[in-house]
């Protein structure tokens, strides 16, 4: 799919591209990593439509799925090939989520990480098929075609994303179906939203009502499966509970007018436990993959 003379821009797996747009896709915020990778200045990006980085190799149907989902108030993940200002490209896994106030989407946030060579190869195959289909069919017809493509593989779109994230063929069985990246970002949003609400003086912050509690539900649904016997599984629960307990401690101390230094130190501990949480989860998954030969 690559255009002649294009070169891929690679970036570190620990880097995170962040942007925000309004409900119509106009960019309102970008971080330094975005500017560096895309090759645009912040002034060039703010106020521009987000499709300024759209690559011609991206099927329109992927953006239909993305926008349809977000405008329904739901987060969505997609593998995206973007174009840089100088005509090169970079691949990302984009986690896109709406921010809703009083029932209205006020902005859309996007967090993007690099993807593996395996994912690039696998997703390129699907995107080639979708691009070819779009040449002679409507957008809605291609959308239905994509759903059938996934159904033939016994996958929902979300499971397709999860499977590739774990560098596994879409034709192999997978009992885990855990998208570590999206859950990690959920926890980042969880911490940021709570600390922001507290800083704004809100007195009704409830730690348990958060997006990352979906992760707790996922863990509960997996209990009893063979891989939960791995020693790191108990560490996953331990660190997940610590993250929530520390955030509750943060809220309680903030309402007691604790110092900024003390509150910041709690957030540092939250970040440490979050990293330990997903490191332990990776251990469980890697062990499972090795045992099953997936």
Rounded CA-CA distance 173/77 in Å is: 21
Tokens of residue 210, six digits: 């958060």
Rounded CA-CA distance 270/247 in Å is: 7
- Which residues, listed in sequence order, are joined to residue 261 by a DSSP beta bridge? none
Q: What is the pLDDT of residue 72?
A: 93
Per-residue pLDDT band for 26 (boundaries 50, 70, 90) equals very high
pLDDT tens, position by position, 92-144:
999 999 999 888 999 999 999 999 999 999 899 889 999 999 999 999 999 99
Q: How far is CA 268 from CA 177, 247, 259, 263, in A?
A: 29, 11, 15, 9
Q: What is the pLDDT of residue 137?
A: 94
Identify the weakest region by mean pLDDT among 77-91, 157-171, 202-216, 223-237.
Answer: 202-216
Q: What is the pLDDT of residue 175?
A: 44
pTM exceeds 0.85, yes or no: no
CB distance 79 to 92 below 8 Å: yes
Query: Per-residue pLDDT averaged across 179-197, rounded?
Result: 82
- Indicate if the pLDDT at residue 23 is higher than 70: yes
CB distance 1 to 124 below 8 Å: yes
pLDDT tens, position by position, 193-244:
888 888 888 877 877 655 556 778 778 877 777 778 888 899 999 999 999 8
pLDDT tens, position by position, 233-292:
999 999 999 998 999 999 899 888 899 899 999 999 999 999 999 899 888 877 876 665
Per-residue pLDDT band for 171 (boundaries 50, 70, 90) equals low
Q: What is the pLDDT of residue 68?
A: 94
Cβ atoms within 10 Å of 203's Cβ, excluding its own: 8
- Indicate if the pLDDT at residue 181 is higher than 80: no
- Which residues, listed in sequence order, are joined to residue 90 by a DSSP beta bridge? 82
């Amino acid at each position: 799919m690559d255009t002649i003379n294009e070169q891929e821009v690679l970036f570190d797996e620990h880097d995170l591209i962040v942007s925000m747009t309004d409900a119509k896709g106009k960019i309102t915020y970008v971080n330094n990593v975005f500017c560096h990778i895309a090759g645009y200045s912040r002034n060039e990006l703010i106020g521009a439509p987000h499709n300024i980085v759209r690559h011609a190799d991206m099927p329109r149907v992927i953006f239909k799925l993305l926008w349809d989902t977000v405008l329904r108030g739901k987060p969505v993940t997609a593998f995206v090939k973007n174009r840089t200002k100088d005509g090169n490209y970079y691949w990302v896994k984009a986690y896109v989520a709406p921010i809703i106030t009083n029932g209205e989407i006020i902005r859309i946030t996007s967090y993007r990480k690099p993807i593996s060579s395996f994912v690039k190869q696998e997703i390129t195959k699907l995107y080639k098929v979708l691009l070819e289909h779009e040449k002679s069919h409507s957008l809605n017809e291609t959308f239905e075609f994509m759903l059938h493509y996934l159904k033939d593989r016994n996958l929902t779109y979300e499971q397709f994303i999860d499977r590739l994230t774990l560098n596994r063929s879409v034709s192999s069985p997978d009992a885990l179906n855990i998208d570590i990246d999206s859950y990690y970002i959920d926890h980042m949003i969880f911490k940021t939203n709570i600390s922001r609400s507290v800083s704004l003086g809100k007195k009704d912050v409830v730690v348990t009502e958060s997006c990352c509690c979906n992760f707790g539900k996922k863990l509960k649904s997996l209990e009893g499966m063979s891989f939960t016997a791995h020693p790191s599984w108990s560490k996953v629960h331990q660190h997940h509970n610590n993250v929530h307990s520390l955030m509750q401690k943060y809220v309680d101390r903030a309402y007691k007018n604790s110092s900024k230094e003390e509150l910041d130190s709690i957030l540092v501990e939250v970040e440490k436990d979050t990293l330990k949480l997903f490191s332990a989860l990776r251990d469980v998954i890697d062990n499972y993959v090795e045992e099953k030969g997936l």
